[in-house]
Amino acid sequence: MEKNKNSIKGLLFAAITSLLWGVLAIALKIALKYFDPYTIVWFRFFIAFISLFTYYAIVRPSFLKILYRPPGLLVLAAVLISYNYIGFMQGINYAGPGITQVLIQAGAILLGIVGFIFFKEKITLLRGAGFIIAGAGFFLFYSQQLKEFIINQSSLNTGVAWTLSAAVAWTGYAVIFKLLVRKWPTQQLNIFLYALPVLIFLPLADFSLFTQPLPWYIWVLLISLGLNTIVAYGSLSMAFKYAEANKISIIITLNPIITFVLLETMLFFNVRWIEISPFTNLAYIGAFLVISGAVLAIGIKKR
């Protein structure tokens, strides 16, 4: 019973992450109108680190010891997540949020495979069918975007390479983090995971951009991106603690559905913050299959 409760907790945390990441791609594309990718990534990590550092400096100062004595694997995880952030950012910059959201799912799929192979997580007939149905749904849902990806040669550029390599980096981070949460509190690990990227991207950030006159809502957007990092990765950390990697992966793969639903809503209300393409009926059928497959892959059990 306790194991089932923990699994439900993990899936709920993964759902929060998926929701926040679904909104993230659109927010980042808007932010790119005012800032370059490296500056945005630095600011996101900076806000996340300062917020977490301040909180635990007051509530639990012992957590801060990890900043000067981190495990070796944690350093590697921080480097990988740094690359994932800038890779995803550059993917949106060069290829746009639609194509980037399609390609970045390679990370979640790889995590699911690693969960079965490396962590020896069980796969049942029901879960296997769920992965297959979800895969078919993704193919239908993204057929329009994938067709554009193949036809539009300009999209076969640096952005694609950035995104795919970012997906691989995220899988590496996820595997390492799942190992570390067995011995370390998740938020203590996150303090270092946010701190090291702040130093890595410090020489690459353009601070002169912060002195330009900006609308107030852009500052709200930037701060929100930093808070998104805290809540999304904090929830993901808790998900790794309570749930199996393959279950988390199928929930995470739902985040592009959220992105495209928001884009469709913006299109309906004629909100032109970014360039938006309408979706086909086939895409809606695919979305239904993805959600249905996710439910099966999570694993519904009879009482």
CA distances from 82 to 75, 194, 201, 245 (A): 11, 9, 8, 21
Inform me whether the pLDDT recorded for 154 exceeds 60: no
pTM: 0.82
Domain residue limits, the chain: 2-298
Higher pLDDT, 274 or 217: 217
Q: What would the two tokens of residue 166 be?
A: 């970012």
Each residue of 33-77: pLDDT tens digit? 899 999 999 999 999 999 999 999 999 999 999 999 999 999 999
pLDDT at 193: 95
d(CA 198, CA 192): 10
Inform me whether the pLDDT recorded for 90 exceeds 70: yes
Phi/psi at 17 (5° precision): -60, -45
3-state helix, strand, coil split of the chain in percent (to 5) is 80, 0, 20
